[in-house]
Structure 1
Amino acid sequence: MTQTVLLPIDLAVPATWDKSLPRALNLADGGTLHVITVIPNFGMSMVGSYFDEGFIKQALHDVGAQLGDWIRANIPDAQDVHPHVTHGRIYDEIIRAASKLDVDVIVLGAPRTDLAEYLLGPNAARVVRHAPQSVFVVRG
């Protein structure tokens, strides 16, 4: 059965994709793989005022180029893959993209932390709770 899969990753944290990428590729075999990375919000609007005008546009461009490099290095050429870079609350952007792209499943890496070995991180937990799609959590 052809799947449309969404794989959220943090380019700076290989633990968010090193184990989940093989699972996503397996599920997307013969289907489409969407890879998303999210540039987080600044939090308070006051913080955003310290960045130059056009910062987000440039950051989206730069991260898009990095995501393209990551895809070329990690995704087989035969796989139909589509990169996406967004800006906002991480879990909101993942859920929004999954709905907009009409994916069948979200494959989410959940790296283990020293503090809470049995708990999901806040973004992963929110995606699991609120996404209308199935969420496949791959423990790191």
Structure 2
Amino acid sequence: VLERLNDIVSENTPEGMNVETIVRHGPVYEQILQVADDIGADQIVIGAHRPQISDYLLGPNTARVVRHAKCSVNVVRL
């Protein structure tokens, strides 16, 4: 899986841009926040879909990242 992910990243990354692929297991928002802290991220860019009813009850991962991140977060509508 990591090899395929690296292929996709390589095919879609502009020349001169450095991208590191990280695969983690656990609650999505917790892992994103932990990696951001671990690498000292200045910004998190995260995709978001149109919310469903369950998102309002449980809280989507994107909302949790935005709420708890120590750095700026850019949300891109998918």
Q: Using the TM superposition, give the Cα deviation of residue 108 of structure 1 relative to its aligned residue in structure 2, in angstroms.
A: 0.9
Equivalences, count: 74
* Aligned position for 2:72: 134
Which whole-Å CA distance do the structure 1 matches of 2:47 and 2:15 have between them? 22
Give the letter for the 1:75 counterpart: T
Alignment of structure 1 residues 1-140 onto 2, 5 Å: 63-113=1-51, 115=52, 122-140=60-78
RMSD (CA atoms): 1.7
Mark the runs of 5 or more structure 2 residues left unpaired by the alignment.
none
Higher helix share: 2
Which whole-Å CA distance do the structure 2 matches of 1:89 and 1:75 have between them? 27
Which whole-Å CA distance do the structure 2 matches of 1:102 and 1:128 have between them? 16
Q: Using the TM superposition, give the Cα deviation of residue 112 of structure 1 relative to its aligned residue in structure 2, in angstroms.
A: 2.1
Tell which deviates more after alignment, 80-89 or 91-100.
Answer: 80-89
- Deviation track 1:94-137 (CA, whole Å, cap 9, x = no partner) reads 00000001010101111225x46xx7x61111111111111111
Which whole-Å CA distance do the structure 2 matches of 1:107 and 1:97 have between them? 13
Report SS of the residue matched to 2:31: helix
Which whole-Å CA distance do the structure 2 matches of 1:123 and 1:131 have between them? 12
Q: Which runs of 4+ in 1 moved over 3 A?
A: none
Instruction: With the length of structure 1 as denominator, give the TM-score of the two structures.
Output: 0.48
Seq. identity, %:
45
Which whole-Å CA distance do the structure 2 matches of 1:77 and 1:64 have between them? 21
Instruction: With the length of structure 2 as denominator, give the TM-score of the two structures.
Output: 0.81
